[in-house]
Amino acid sequence: MSHRVSPHQAAALLLVGGLLLSGCAGGLGGGFGGGGGSSVPTAVDDKAAGADGTEGARGGLGRAVPDAAGDQRTVRPREIPSLGPKTRSAIPETSRQAVVVTGDAPDSNRATLVLYERDPVEGWRSVSDPWPAHNALKGWTDDHRQGDLRSPIGVFGLTDAGGRLPDPGTRLPYDRGPAFTLSGVGFEGEPLAGSFDHVVAINYNRKPGTTPLDWTRPLGASKGGGIWIHVDHGGPTQGCVSLPMKRMKELLRWLDPSKRPQVVMGDVSSLGR
């Protein structure tokens, strides 16, 4: 279902359209998107799981199977590899889809993205190959501030999408319009045109259930906002995560709001905590 961009938003876009922008929404005036703002880990959409991070502790998942002697033992569901107890415990127990973005290092702007689905009994399993991705120019932070050129570390809901091009078949609400038009060049001189052809809003410092263009910042403007997953332009972003166009379309078609999708994002050492 599409939403019309207000005249106010359209006017703001025209005003800043000629500015040199990064690959994230923050460049779209007033701290829009990963360019103007970023993210700090905030409370996730649902009640956090058990503190020890085990599936057995969260909702009592697991199954009893007989061992060689015929006695019953509990088999714990599979966890997502490389995630530590703190990160695992932040994934809502109601979530059955996870987009895991793992940065190469705290100061690296390159990352790998893998899709996971959770079975109530078997646990998590990967459903994609590793996809190459970019993140912010200066890497990652667990205390993101507007303009720090770092991507936020944390677990955030994925509820809303949009873009300049028509909906490729996502089940998320999709806001299409010219306000997603971007121009200029990135940090490595690469053209930014087409970066916002498709986007998924990351629920950092934003109001879920609204267009990615919504300016509401519950944590305040200093905490940034407009952190998206969007089309890769071949270089670092200002705070967002970017994927090649083909992968972006696959992601949009895969995301299912009934499965409460979350993005788990950060550098490899932080996610291992």
Average pLDDT over residues 224-242: 98
Decide: helix, strand or coil at residue 239.
Answer: coil
- φ and ψ of 139, to 5 deg: 100, -130
Reported as a single tens digit per residue, the pLDDT across 18-66 is: 323 333 655 453 333 333 333 333 333 332 333 333 333 333 345 555 5
Mean pLDDT, rounded, of the chain: 82
Q: What pTM was estimated for this model as a whole?
A: 0.78
Identify which of 94, 106, 133, 135 has the alpha carbon closest to the alpha carbon of residue 227: 135
Contact (Cβ atoms closer than 8 angstroms) between residue 241 and residue 248:
no
Is 175 in a helix, a strand, or coil?
Answer: strand
Please say whether the beta carbons of 215 and 32 come within 8 A.
yes
| Model pLDDT for residues 129-151, shown as the tens digit of each residue | 999 999 999 999 999 999 999 99
pLDDT in tens, 191-212: 999 999 999 999 999 999 999 9
Q: How confident is the model at residue 235 (pLDDT cuts 50, 70, 90)?
A: very high
The domain locations on the chain are: 7-271
What three-state secondary structure class fits 267? strand
Q: Where are the alpha helices (DSSP H) in 137-272?
A: 245-254, 268-271
Q: What is the mean pLDDT of residues 11-23?
A: 35
In the chain, count H helices and then E strands: 5, 15
Inter-residue contact 197 to 159 (CB < 8 Å): no
Residue at token pair 């969007």: 230
Structure tokens at 217: 């910042």
* Least trusted range by pLDDT, from 36-45, 114-123, 240-249, 260-269: 36-45
Q: Residue range 112-134: average pLDDT?
A: 97
Tens of pLDDT along 169-184? Answer: 999 999 999 999 999 9
Instruction: With a cut of 90, say whether residue 127 has pLDDT above it.
Output: yes
Residue 225, Cβ density class (10 Å: 0-12 exposed, 13-18 middle, ≥19 buried): buried
- Predicted pLDDT at 165: 98
Q: What angle do CA 127, 205, 6 make, to 5 degrees?
A: 100
pLDDT above 50 (res 188): yes
DSSP string, 52-109: T--GGGSTT--EEEE-TTS-EEEEPPBPPTT--HHHHHTS-TT--EEEEEEESSTT-S
Tokens of 109: 């702007």
Q: Output the pLDDT for position 185.
A: 97
CA–CA distances in Å: residue 186 to residues 136, 162, 225, 241: 11, 21, 19, 14
Q: Which CATH superfamily is domain 7-271 in?
A: L,D-transpeptidase catalytic domain-like (2.40.440.10)
**Start-end of H helices in the chain:** 7-16, 33-36, 85-89, 245-254, 268-271
Residue with token string 């109001």: 207
